[in-house]
Structure 1
Amino acid sequence: MRTHELQKLLPGRSRQSIAKKRGTTGFTYRRPPFTQGEDEEIRRAAPTKGATAITHILPHRTPWEINKRAQELGIKLFNYHDKPLTIIGEPLADAIRQRAREDGLSMRGLDAELNTGGYFTNCAALRVRRGSGPYMPNIRKAIEFFDAELVTGPDGTITIDWKDF
């Protein structure tokens, strides 16, 4: 039995005390090997699901076990960060989001770095849905962070000059 299953049978004992007693007595828990069916489920789900999502298909396996097994089988599990960036429909925010992704920053990481309170994560998209324009104080923070500048075109459109050399 697993430690947490034993804990239900031994009320008042902590997981640590059960695990330590197992170690000193030699009664350790070993996971059963993966079956061909489980391997097939991992293969089938890998293109669209990560290890955590696959645990819903294989609830008796942990994400760590699923990741390890996928590595052993040479299977690359779906990675959220490999997913293309969603275009939100606000050109300035989209350009900044794309630049952040290219520089290896997540949208949450960008918001945390700029102290913009979730603007690039979700607020910019909400503003687009409401029909509001971009929130320029946050756009300017990002422009300054990336050492770029806003440029107004002859037709009045505002774009970003990234100053890449």
Structure 2
Amino acid sequence: MRRNRHLRTSELQKLLPPHRSRLSIQGKRDRAEGLGYRRLPWKSGEDEELRRAAPTKGATAIHHILPHRSPWEINLRAKALGISLFNYHEKPLAIIGEHLADSIRQRAREDGLSIRGLDCELGTGGYFTNVAAHRARRGSGPYMPAIRKAIAFFEAELVTGPDGTITINWKDE
């Protein structure tokens, strides 16, 4: 246990005989001098790996590259080094092929609302998260009850063009 004190209790449990429970290992650590969990100092190679992965990966993905570092430790180290980790909210929004749903999803993103948060707020059961994309692939039209809820939520209006196409008029633009 002393040699591997840098490991978490769950990792240490795998190295010890199977009859040792997680609680017994943790109790032993708490009572014995020098057996407590100690964070290992960061090595320059780990810092370089963190710098290399940060533009395209978040803390959880980097944890897969550096499995002995928790996402929390990775976030702390990145902050200490002045590195910004990848934020999936900065990733471009996927175009799903249903123009009304796409414009509502884009508006939600601009307003700082996640797509899942939009579905929760409107009670649309995942329509904007994934159902609209499935409907677009099948060739089905938009599910207008969900579209109308979003239009009311954003205080916009549906406008039918002279050629019969339906668009959204965002009143604040």
Summarize the alignment of residues 9-158 of structure 1 with structure 2, pairs less than 5 Å apart.
9=16, 11=19, 13-15=21-23, 18-19=25-26, 21-27=28-34, 28-158=36-166
String of CA shifts for 1:20-59, please: whole Å, max 9, x gaps. Answer: 5534444322111111111111111111111111111111
In angstroms, what is the RMSD of aligned CA positions? 1.8
TM-score, scaled relative to structure 2: 0.85
Taking the aligned partners of 1:86 and 1:5, their CA distance within structure 2 comes to 38
Aligned length, in residue pairs = 164
TM-score, scaled relative to structure 1: 0.89
Contact 2:57/2:86, CA 8 A, preserved across alignment: yes
| Residue identity (%) | 74
Unaligned runs of 5+ in 1: none
Instruction: Letter of the 1:22 partner, please give it.
Output: R
The offset of 1:71, in angstroms, is 0.8
Taking the aligned partners of 1:52 and 1:152, their CA distance within structure 2 comes to 45
The offset of 1:154, in angstroms, is 1.8
Contact 2:108/2:118, CA 8 A, preserved across alignment: yes
Contact 2:96/2:133, CA 8 A, preserved across alignment: yes
The offset of 1:13, in angstroms, is 3.9
Taking the aligned partners of 1:142 and 1:123, their CA distance within structure 2 comes to 15
Taking the aligned partners of 1:6 and 1:157, their CA distance within structure 2 comes to 63
Taking the aligned partners of 2:93 and 2:12, their CA distance within structure 1 comes to 45
Taking the aligned partners of 1:48 and 1:5, their CA distance within structure 2 comes to 28
Taking the aligned partners of 1:156 and 1:7, their CA distance within structure 2 comes to 66
Instruction: Letter of the 2:118 partner, please give it.
Output: L
What SS is found at the alignment partner of 2:158? strand
The offset of 1:5, in angstroms, is 4.0
String of CA shifts for 1:109-131, please: whole Å, max 9, x gaps. Answer: 11111111111001111111111
